[in-house]
Each structure stands twice: as structure tokens, then as C-alpha cells.
Structure 1
């Protein structure tokens, strides 16, 4: 019984830290995908096909090259939200618990699922292109099959990431007020 009480106390101490970490890291991810939606892709979108694809390759190479801060932010958002959700289900009740669970589901389905099933496979396709060996028609075709779909799904995950950030900020305010 004493061990159970001690574990409850530890979990109670970890919950606010996990919620804060999840809110912070998920908001950073929201900012990252928002930046791509409103600055990066519109900016490189003005370039000719070869330059557009080369620019995207260079940007994506940094990201998929396991840039440490990016990796910490992206993976940390998932891990911290999993921990915060598990602790919230165990320790919280009512609307605040529901909001955390909704944020978790929204993040997995609205942000991570499209990232891993759509955006990353599209990125990987672009990475395989030997741009200097492609003619203008092939470059235009590759861009056509990449850009609009990638942007559409990036905007989708941006909207969901922003919703998750707002939900987690609401949870922090309500949790702090209790």
C-alpha cells in the first residue's frame, strides 16, 4: 500500500511537467509546420522546377539527417504527449481528461499519421531524384505530383497541430486553476 501511495505521489508530480512538455513541444511542431505552410513552401514555390526540387531536397536532407533539435522536438512531442495522456487518464477526470485524450487522438491522426503516410513518402520520392539527369518535362511532372499534395497535407497537419496546441494550453490553464 505504501508503494502504491508513493507511486501516486510521483505520478502526481510528473503530470504537470508532462503536460507542460507536451504543450511546449506540440506547439513547436505546430510552429514548424506552419512555417513551412506560410513561408518555406510559398518561397521555394516561386522557383523554377529544378531549383524548387533541389531546394526541397536540401531542406529535407537536414530534417531527415536527424538534425538533433528537430528530432528532439518532433519525437519529444510524441513521447511527452503519450506520457501526459497516460497520466491524465489515470489521474484526471471529467472534461479535462477528455480534452487531453482528444488532443492526443487529434495529434496522432491529424499530425503524425499524414506526416508518416503522406509527407515523408513524398519527401523520400523527391530525395531519390537525380535532378541534373532529368529533362524539363520530367522535372515539371515530378513537381506536379509532389507539390500540391505535399502542401495540402501540410496545411491539414498545420490546422490539427494548432488545434492540439490550443487544447493543451486550455488543459494547462484549467489544471493550474485546480
Structure 2
């Protein structure tokens, strides 16, 4: 097996893990902490997000690795695939980059950082409520969008693998 199929397999695997991570947040984590009061919700999210922001190594390898593997596969695929395969791979890469990575950078991470900056012990009930209301709906909406795009990109990569 050559480097190109290995790169596609790695990209599909890592993109699928990213999709699964976003899926778990969408259907378990966020619904699970939704029932907490505002202070508990913010603290809980801060703790979870801090694990990621402190560069949890496995998370970083998967999140960044998915993008690197996908870009490497796309470049390698230019010389390896027919026109349909190139389109499929390019579409998967665009979907992942524009539908997962871009919203992460311009929406979810800034929302996370805004929540991280809060000192829960110094905020009154109305400030906690306002902070949560300005965070939770947007974060959840964009997480669902990222999850959908990551899933589509993973599925396209799997289709491509079956066609090799």
C-alpha cells in the first residue's frame, strides 16, 4: 500500500473522530449540562474547555492531524485520482475546512474564550444568566453545523476509499 491510500485512511479516520467528538458534545455533553444552573453550567464548560485549551495532546493530534492529513491527501490525490476522485476529495477538504475548522476559529473558540474570561464568583445571577444566554444557543447551533459538515466530509472520504 502506498503513501496516498494511507494518507486517505488517516484523514478519514481523524475526520471521523472529530465528527464523533462534535457529535458527543451535541447529543450528550451540552444536553447533560443544560440542566445545571447558570453558575454551574459556566463553571462546567470552563473546566471542559480548559482541558482543550491547555493543549490536551491527544485532542490536538486528532484535531490538527485531521486537517493536516486531509490537506496532504488532497495534494497527493492530484496525481493519483481521476477527475471524479479529485472532485470528491476536494469537496471533502473544502467541507471540512470551511464547515468545521473555520467556524471553530471564528465562532466557537471566541465564544469559549469569552466564557473563560468570566469569574463566576464575582457575577450576580442576572450577569450569569446573560452570559449563558449569549453563549449557549450560538455555541450549540454552530457545534451542530460543525458536526454535520465533519460527518459529511468523513462520509465523502469513506466513499473515496471504497472507490480506490
- TM-score, L = length of structure 1: 0.91
Q: Structure 2 CA distance, aligned partners of 1:80 and 1:47?
A: 38
Runs of 4+ in 1 over 4 A off after TM superposition: none
Structure 1 runs not aligned, ≥5 long: 1-11
Is structure 2 residue 76 aligned with structure 1 residue 119? Answer: no
Unaligned runs of 5+ in 2: none
Counterpart CA distance in 2 for 1:94 and 1:30 is: 27
Pairs aligned (count): 164
Residue 13 (structure 1) aligns with: 2
1:50 maps to 2:60: no
Q: Which deviations, in whole Å up to 9, do the C-alpha atoms of 1:136-167 show, x marking residues without a partner?
A: 00000000000000000000000000001100
Give matches, 1:1-178, under 5 Å.
13-175=2-164
TM-score with structure 2 setting the length: 0.98
Offset at 1:90?
A: 2.4
Q: Which one has the largest radius of gyration?
A: 1
**Aligned-partner Cα distance in 2 for 1:68–1:90:** 33
Distance 2:57 2:65 in 1: 11
Displacement of 1:95: 1.1
Q: Residue deviations 1:89-121, cap 9 Å, x none? A: 222112111100000000000000000000000
What is the rounded CA distance, in whole Å, between the counterparts of 2:152 and 2:85 in structure 1?
A: 15
> C-alpha deviations, 1:15-53, integer Å up to 9, x for none?
001000000000000000000000000100110000000
